[in-house]
Structure 1
Amino acid sequence: MREILAELRRLAVLAVPLALTQLGNMMLGIVDMLMLGRVGREALDAAALGNLWGYAVLTIGMGVVLGCDPYIAQAHGAGDGRALGLTVQRGVVLALLVSVPVMLLWTLGGPALVLLGQAPHLAAEAHDYLLAQLPGAPAVLLYVAMRSYLQGRGITGPALLVMILANVVNVGLNYVLIFGALGLPALGAVGAGISTGVVRVVMAAGLAWLIVRGELHAGAWVPWSRAALDRAALAAIAGVGLGIAFQLGLELWAFQAAMLFAGWLGDAPLAAYTIVLNVASCSFMLPVGIGMAAVTRVGNLLGSDRPREAERAAWVALSLGAGVMFAAAALMYGLRHELPALFDADPEVYALAVVSIPVTAAFQVFDGVQVVGFGVLRAMGRTRQAALVNFVGYYAVALPLAYWLAFERGHGITGLWWGLTVGLALVATALLAWIAARGPSTAGKISLEQR
């Protein structure tokens, strides 16, 4: 018991600032939705659809960069500073490379949303919202690479500090650009997009400045050289990253596909779905932080040849994820009337959101278990298995069931949420079974050939 409590403390020290950082990242979008909700339903829906396409694409780029995670965590555990430095440099290279297709696909957002059955006037506004964010694409990917570098070394404060600053900047810029101030016109959703792009540049620049100014790269850095462009090493990181990309993407796309279904139900269901998704996403940031802590902790232990301790850390993290989400579920249910009111929605949207929140509360524990489980697999470098689990859980079960309940059985937006709940339950169960059979105690170290 003493060892379990000690591990719990170590995970909590890592997880709390990571969760707060992720919550801060989520708040950037929440603030956009809160402020655009005061502009009108059309602005809210346009931003929601723009984010649907934007994050669907960006998630793949982020996943590729996150392929650095197990290499960084295990190199730190092994005390290999040279490997750490080279890995983050290669992460930066990959971030710049993948930002090109991300930006190109963002320019196709409007036509893509029309092909996906969304209203042309909303798709056009969503398109402009995405174009306003283009400069932020490479910046957010560079930020991810640097955050992973620090996270793998157990350094969590700088990313949290940058996120707090980003939220302050975002509120000010949103006010000026969305509603019009300081002599500037009111730009609505496009103003929110400009603000998002600027904030992402501030985040990347701020984190880079803190790393250099605080010498946080000391002992884990090498001068830039051609080794950062080593094709075999870049391919190895990208190979792990693609597994992460599809694991993250398949989950995100499932919730976004359900958003498209909500759009087919009408403007009010789409706005209500967006509100409830934002509420659920806030609580989701808690186990996301725990999952990131599991990547670091399990990866560090595997890198230092302590697989049994890594196994214990994995199960403590899974238990912690389930526990915090049980509390989140109770809180969401208790505040089911108050939470939608924060978005200042019209009565129809508010009513739909209120009846949906109890369903989302039902899947909180499953959501906590699955995201921490994916963190454990990422620490082990077993990312393709995670993608397979998500594909089956969401696309063979969750989405077909959600469509059937919403349209064939006439349950509307609550049918969408019940379908997703069943899928999450299956994904969480499969991950627990996988980790029980082939967890960290069966895994070996992974490494890149350094040149």
Structure 2
Amino acid sequence: MREVLAELRRLAVLAVPLALTQLGNMMLGIVDMLMLGRVGREALDAAALGNLWGFAVLTIGMGVVLGCDPFIAQAHGAGDGRALGLTLQRGVVLALLASVPVMLLWTFAGPALVLLGQAPHLSAQAHDYLLAQLPGAPAVLLYAAMRSYLQGRGITGPALLVMLAANVVNVGLNYVLIFGALGLPALGAVGAGISTGVVRVVMAAALAWIIVRRGLHHGAWVPWSRAALDRAALAAIAGVGLGIGLQLGLEIWAFQAAMLFAGWLGDAPLAAYTIVLNLASCTFTIPVGIAMAAVTRVGNLLGSERPREAERSAWVAMSLGAGVMGAGAVLMYSLRYRLPALFEADPEVYALAVASLPIAAAFQIFDGVQVVGFGVLRAMGRTNKAALVNFAGYYAVALPLGWWLAFERGHGIGGLWWGLTVGLALVATALLAWIAVRGPATVGKISIEQR
């Protein structure tokens, strides 16, 4: 029991700042929605659709960069500073390469949303909202590479500091650009997009400055060389990263597909679904922080060739994820009448959001288990087959069931949320079974040949 409690403390020390950082990242979008809600339902829906397409595309690029995670965590556990420095450099290279197709696909947002059945006037506004964010695409991927580098070494403070500052800047820029101030016109959703792009550039620049200024790269760095462009090493990271991208993408795309279904139900259901998704995403940041801590802790232990301790850390992390989300479910249910009121939505949207929150509360525990479980698999470098679990849970069960309940049985967005809940339960169960049979104790450390 003492070992379990000690492991719990170590995970908590890592998870708390990581969760706060993730919450700060989520708040950037939440604040956009809160402020755009005051402009009107149309502006809120346009931003929601823009984010739908933007994140759907960005997820794969983000996954490729996050392929660095197990290599960094395990290299740190092994005390291999050269591998750490080279992996960061290769993460930077992959971030720049991945940003090109991301930006290209963002320029097709409007036509793509129309093809997906969304209203042309909303799709046009969503297109402009996303185009305003183009400079932020490479910046957000570079930020992810640097955050992964620090996180794998157990350094969590700088990313949290940058995120807190970013939220302050975002609120100020949003006020000026959305509503018009300081002689600038009111730009609505486009103003929120410009603010998001600027904030992402500032975040990447600030984190790079802190790393250099504080010497956080000392002992884990090598001078830039052609080794950073080694194709075999880049392919190894990208191979792990594509598995992460697909795993993340299949989950995010499922919730976004449900958002498209909500859009087909009407403007009010779409706005209500967006509100509930944003609220559920806030509680989700806590197990995401625990999952990131699990990537670091389990990866470090595997790198130092302590697989049984890594196994114990994995189970402690998953239990912690389930526990905090159980508390989140109680909180969400208890505050179901108050939370939607924060968005100042019209009465129809408010009523739909209130009715949906108890269902969203029901899947909280499953959500906590599955995200931490995927963190454990990421630390092991076992990411490709994990995507199959998400595909089966969401696309064979959750979305078809949600569609049937929403449209055939007439349950509206409540049916969509019930479908997602059942899918999440199946994914969480499959991950528990997988880790019980083929967890960290059954694998060795991974490595990239450093040239």
**What range describes the TM-score normalised by the shorter chain of this pair?**
over 0.9
Which runs of structure 2 are paired with 1:87-236 in the superposition (5 Å)? Answer: 87-236=87-236
Distance in 1 between the 2:148 and 2:344 partners? Answer: 36
2:45: which partner in 1?
Answer: 45
List per-residue Cα deviations over 1:67-91 (Å, max 9, x = no partner). Answer: 0000000000000000000000000
1:361: which partner in 2?
Answer: 361
Give 1:421 shift. Answer: 0.1
Distance in 2 between the 1:53 and 1:443 partners? Answer: 37
Equivalent residue of 1:383, what SS? coil
Distance in 1 between the 2:377 and 2:94 partners? Answer: 22
Runs (4 or more) in structure 1 with deviation over 4 Å come to none
Q: Does 1:259 align with 2:220?
A: no
List per-residue Cα deviations over 1:88-126 (Å, max 9, x = no partner). Answer: 000000000000000000000000000000000000000
Give 1:385 shift. Answer: 1.8
1:373: which partner in 2?
Answer: 373
Q: Which runs of 5+ in 1 are unaligned?
A: none
RMSD over equivalenced CA pairs, Å: 0.2
2:70: which partner in 1?
Answer: 70
2:431: which partner in 1?
Answer: 431
Equivalent residue of 1:444, what SS? coil
Distance in 2 between the 1:387 and 1:212 partners? Answer: 36
Distance in 2 between the 1:84 and 1:318 partners? Answer: 27
List per-residue Cα deviations over 1:210-248 (Å, max 9, x = no partner). Answer: 000000001000000000000000000000000000000
Q: Does 1:339 align with 2:339?
A: yes
Distance in 1 between the 2:138 and 2:268 partners? Answer: 34
Distance in 2 between the 1:284 and 1:351 partners? Answer: 23
Identical counterparts, % of pairs: 89
Distance in 2 between the 1:338 and 1:218 partners? Answer: 48
Distance in 2 between the 1:386 and 1:346 partners? Answer: 41
Distance in 1 between the 2:409 and 2:138 partners? Answer: 44
Residue identity in the other structure for 1:66: L
Q: Does 1:404 align with 2:404?
A: yes
List per-residue Cα deviations over 1:372-393 (Å, max 9, x = no partner). Answer: 0000000000001211100000
Residue identity in the other structure for 2:403: Y
Equivalent residue of 1:338, what SS? coil
2:82: which partner in 1?
Answer: 82
Q: Which runs of 5+ in 2 are unaligned?
A: none
Residue identity in the other structure for 1:53: W
2:449: which partner in 1?
Answer: 449
List per-residue Cα deviations over 1:235-283 (Å, max 9, x = no partner). Answer: 0000000000000000000000000000000000000000000000000
Instruction: Give the alignment's TM-score, normalised by structure 1.
Output: 1.00
List per-residue Cα deviations over 1:383-414 (Å, max 9, x = no partner). Answer: 01211100000000000000000000000010
List per-residue Cα deviations over 1:140-169 (Å, max 9, x = no partner). Answer: 000000000000000000000000000000
Distance in 1 between the 2:98 and 2:158 partners? Answer: 25
1:283: which partner in 2?
Answer: 283
Distance in 2 between the 1:214 and 1:391 partners? Answer: 43
Distance in 1 between the 2:326 and 2:213 partners? Answer: 41
Distance in 2 between the 1:341 and 1:369 partners? Answer: 29
Distance in 1 between the 2:57 and 2:158 partners? Answer: 27
Residue identity in the other structure for 1:367: D
Equivalent residue of 2:343, what SS? coil
1:12: which partner in 2?
Answer: 12
List per-residue Cα deviations over 1:25-73 (Å, max 9, x = no partner). Answer: 0000000000000000000000000000000000110000000000000
Give 1:306 shift. Answer: 0.1
2:326: which partner in 1?
Answer: 326
Distance in 1 between the 2:214 and 2:360 partners? Answer: 42
1:248: which partner in 2?
Answer: 248
Residue identity in the other structure for 2:84: L
Residue identity in the other structure for 1:401: L
Equivalent residue of 1:154, what SS? coil
Distance in 2 between the 1:333 and 1:218 partners? Answer: 47
Residue identity in the other structure for 2:24: G
Distance in 1 between the 2:388 and 2:307 partners? Answer: 24
Equivalent residue of 1:384, what SS? coil
Equivalent residue of 2:216, what SS? coil
Residue identity in the other structure for 2:352: L
2:422: which partner in 1?
Answer: 422
Distance in 1 between the 2:169 and 2:423 partners? Answer: 37
Distance in 2 between the 1:56 and 1:199 partners? Answer: 20
Equivalent residue of 2:185, what SS? coil
Equivalent residue of 2:339, what SS? helix
Residue identity in the other structure for 2:232: A
Distance in 2 between the 1:329 and 1:250 partners? Answer: 24
Distance in 2 between the 1:140 and 1:267 partners? Answer: 30
Distance in 1 between the 2:109 and 2:449 partners? Answer: 39
Give 1:315 shift. Answer: 0.2
Give the count of matched residue pairs: 451
Equivalent residue of 2:344, what SS? coil
List per-residue Cα deviations over 1:326-350 (Å, max 9, x = no partner). Answer: 0000000000000000000000000
